[in-house]
Structure 1
Amino acid sequence: MDDQRVAIVTAAGRGIGEACARRLTEDGYAPVLLSKSGAAIDVAEDLGGVGFEGSVTDPDDLSALVEAATERYGRIDAVVNNTGHPATGDLLDIDDEAWHEGLDLVLLNAVRTARLVTPVMRENDGGAFVNVSTFSAYEPSAEFPVSSVLRAGLGAFTKLYADRHAADGIRMNAVLPGFVDSYEVDEATRERIPMGRPARTEEIADTVAYLLSPAASYVTGQNVRVDGGITDSV
């Protein structure tokens, strides 16, 4: 199995994570999947990979995931750090606990995974990470305050990591989806999107797959919007 490429995908039981797992399997990766609900186990079974029930907020679950991948396949070539959504609410009504939970969910998950996987990638001549972020990371949204603030930090981490490990042949990028069809999108929101519709999860997965592929071999440290034009900045 030494020449079998391996991809870890978190929050892979549904939505963007599942779409990424399916697309990467089509591209020849063996999928190693995690989800809090355990649905990733069924997805992995369908794809011929291995799945686990666990949370990206639990360092022990992440360690077990990486250990399982290396024990079974001996390598990790790609990581998709996908998560759920942190707390919402009025900016100053969100309590400290919700902010700390959001930190674990959308930023420290990527930091911890990078700590675990980087030595493995170094031993196998490189690899690539993609962090699934949000369009509101650089145009903060009052609808998603915790996500906006902490995923701006994720973008900074993405750049710092990419610069630090480029010489090791390891790349890290982030994708910034807009509204996606895995959640209900009301008509008022649709009218805000220049393309007039939410993204299909497969469209986000296509971008993730590109960023992990040799076709993106000179792309690192980037935050790539896949938002149908909803952000205003250039």
Structure 2
Amino acid sequence: MSAPAPERYAVVAGGSGFLGAAAAERLRVDGREVVVLDRVAPRRPGTAWAQVELTDETAVAQALDGLLRERGAPGALVLCQGWSPKGGDGRAVPEDQVPPELFRRVLDVNLTSCYLLLRTLVPAMAAAGGGRAVAVGSAAAHTGRTTAGAAYAAAKAGVASLVRTFAVRYGPDGVLVNGVAPGKVANPAWPDDPEAVARYREQIPAGRLGEADELADVIAFLVSPRNTYLTGQTVIVDGGRLA
């Protein structure tokens, strides 16, 4: 009989990035074995890592085939990959300056990559008796007041739709699929326009930007044994800005 989902390892895609690293660390603290899928090595040494370009269909298929053969199906899947093109001043690239090839690249990084992982690992989890999957979207998908640009918002709206579709399809097989949609998260490495961030902060009832660890806490619950019934939902973690 397959091991229950809580006892099986977790896959964190984009686990070398800012939010992905926080999620991977939180799952490790919770006792999970974690495998990071990303183009670059995880920030913390000793973490299992498979180097893969997450937008490359062939590369993803090869990496997942090897992972499933060596380790079996994961008990949890966390999708943290994401990217929004910025200008040198930290502002989103204006829509009239986003050529079709850049728009498609934004969709590939934020949306297509999620689909490539979900379509393989969620059925594998279902066949193994169940599991949990979480896709990190964005509050930008739920409002036109976004500092990230239309391409990014559209891609993340697609992520929310994938969450609902996979939740409905695989819920009967014991796989709970949810999304987390963060608002602006404090990260000195992000080249955001300071004036836009200041205006954004003024709109947050909590009075501040979010922290990566706060998002990781929500993800950790959604993939834990404590989550027994929540599925098909996107939890907006934005300090109340969209309330």
CA contact (8 A) 2:22 2:212 kept: yes
Aligned to 2:174: 169
Aligned residue pairs total 226
Shift in Å, 1:17: 0.1
Q: Distance in 2 between matches of 1:142 and 1:50?
A: 35
SS of match in other structure, 1:32 = strand
Alignment of 1:141-160 (within 5 A): 141-144=145-148, 145-160=150-165
State which of 171, 180, 186 in structure 1 corresponds to 2:185: 180
CA contact (8 A) 1:83 1:105 kept: yes
Whichever structure has more helix as a proportion of its residues is 1
Greater relative contact order, per chain length (Cα 8 Å cut-off, separation 6+): 2
Alignment of 1:43-192 (within 5 A): 43=44, 45-46=45-46, 49-87=47-85, 88-144=92-148, 145-183=150-188, 186=194, 187-192=198-203
Shift in Å, 1:55: 2.3
Q: Distance in 1 between matches of 2:9 and 2:74?
A: 5
CA contact (8 A) 1:78 1:127 kept: yes
Letter in 1 for 2:37: L
Aligned to 1:39: 41
CA contact (8 A) 2:122 2:133 kept: no
Give TM-score, length-normalised by structure 1. 0.88
Aligned CA RMSD, in angstroms, stands at: 1.9
Shift in Å, 1:32: 0.7
CA contact (8 A) 2:107 2:152 kept: no
Q: Distance in 2 between matches of 1:84 and 1:124?
A: 28
CA contact (8 A) 1:141 1:148 kept: no
- In terms of mean alpha carbon deviation, does 218-227 or 81-90 score higher? 81-90
Shift in Å, 1:83: 1.2
Query: Where does structure 2 lack aligned partners over 5 or more consecutive residues?
Result: 86-91
Q: Distance in 2 between matches of 1:207 and 1:65?
A: 27
Q: Distance in 2 between matches of 1:127 and 1:142?
A: 33
**CA deviation profile, 1:120-169 (whole Å, cap 9, x unmatched):** 21221011110101111111235321111121122112111111111111
SS of match in other structure, 1:112 = helix
SS of match in other structure, 1:216 = coil
Give TM-score, length-normalised by structure 2. 0.85
SS of match in other structure, 1:29 = coil
Shift in Å, 1:179: 0.9
CA contact (8 A) 2:38 2:52 kept: yes
CA contact (8 A) 1:14 1:39 kept: no
Q: Distance in 1 between matches of 2:63 and 2:8?
A: 16
- In terms of mean alpha carbon deviation, does 158-167 or 53-62 score higher? 53-62
Identity of aligned residues (%): 28
